[in-house]
Structure 1
Amino acid sequence: MTKVAFAPDVFTWPADEPQLIGSRCPVCQAVTFPRKPSCPRCGNPDMAERLLPRRGTLVAWTIQGFLPKAPYAGGETEETFRPYGVGLVQLGDEVRVETRLTEADPEKLRFGMELELVVVPFRTDADGTEVVIHAFAPTES
């Protein structure tokens, strides 16, 4: 089966240890995700690519309990949709990212828990191609 990334410019995949691709301003040091062509803080037009930490801590979360409307491209129907977690993850002292979580049970999520970037299936296209996305999963440590 062929696998492709939903947004190949957002994370380094295929890679044994994928990372999110952000940017950093060489003038004011602002870090962004996703990558930006210019700095939202100081306006510098020359942002440098920055690979972000793979691990972070959970700052806030919710559960997506219903099928999102367009432009969501997950491929589910009302009948096949399964809830998933969405979280705000602090990556070191660099940046917070809003992201999908692998855990959908709110009883298993807690403030400050450690998470790690993983790659998970998103949908399978009609030709059998599996489309993958990045998400954050609780770590065992």
Structure 2
Amino acid sequence: MALKSIAERLFVEVDDGVQLIGGRCDDCNEVFFPTRSTCGRCQSEHVTDETLPRRGKVWTWTSQSFLPKEPYNGSETEADFEAFVVGYIDLPGACIVQGRIDVPADRAVELADLGTEVESFAYEFRRRSDGEMVHTYAFRPVVTKAGETK
């Protein structure tokens, strides 16, 4: 069954996760995320969708310790909100994207240090009133066979 995404053309499902859908300008070769109809660099309307690499490296991060303001539409309330980590991920040969990093905020220094290899996956964002789960994307550290993060 296909995942319900918070936005159209955000990601595609692959065997072990999701790949983000970015755009590549056919005129200046700029790659960006999310995809859009015009290039932010040269304003060309010649943009082609392309899937971005699943893996990248943490470029920088911070913790979000308060409930985001509208238009944020998550399921948390002030009472049950838990801090989370958000960062910029450098996807090799593509672009840098912003996203949640799925590690405990109090362990981010050890689990999501700069340069840590991470991969994209479908993150359960909220449940709709009809019970359907809506997903976004997030990143998690790549774990080696020895159980260590890269």
Aligned residue for 1:19, secondary structure, equals strand
Structure 1 segments unaligned to the other structure (5+ residues)? none
Counterpart for residue 45 of structure 1: 45
Structure 2 segments unaligned to the other structure (5+ residues)? 145-150
Amino acid at match of 2:120: L
TM-score after normalising by structure 1:
0.91
How far did residue 140 of structure 1 move?
Answer: 0.9
Matching of residues 86-97 of structure 1 within 5 Å: 86-97=86-97
Structure 1 stretches of at least 4 aligned residues deviating more than 6 Å after TM superposition:
none
Residue deviations 1:76-133, cap 9 Å, x none?
Answer: 1111111111010000032000111111332322110000001121111222111111
Q: 1:135 aligns with which of 128, 134, 138?
A: 138
Aligned residue for 1:22, secondary structure, equals strand
Counterpart for residue 126 of structure 1: 129
1:119–1:132 contact (8 Å) kept in structure 2: yes
Counterpart for residue 83 of structure 1: 83
1:3–1:129 contact (8 Å) kept in structure 2: no
The answer on 1:26 being equivalent to 2:26 is yes
CA distance in 2, matches of 1:79, 1:3: 28
Q: What is the aligned-residue RMSD (CA, Å)? A: 1.5
How far did residue 3 of structure 1 move?
Answer: 5.2
Counterpart for residue 108 of structure 2: 106
Mean CA deviation greater in 37-46 or 95-104: 37-46
Aligned residue for 1:82, secondary structure, equals coil
How far did residue 43 of structure 1 move?
Answer: 2.0
Counterpart for residue 68 of structure 1: 68
How many residues were matched structurally?
Answer: 139
The percent of aligned pairs where both chains have the same amino acid is: 37
TM-score after normalising by structure 2:
0.86
Amino acid at match of 1:138: P
Counterpart for residue 35 of structure 2: 35
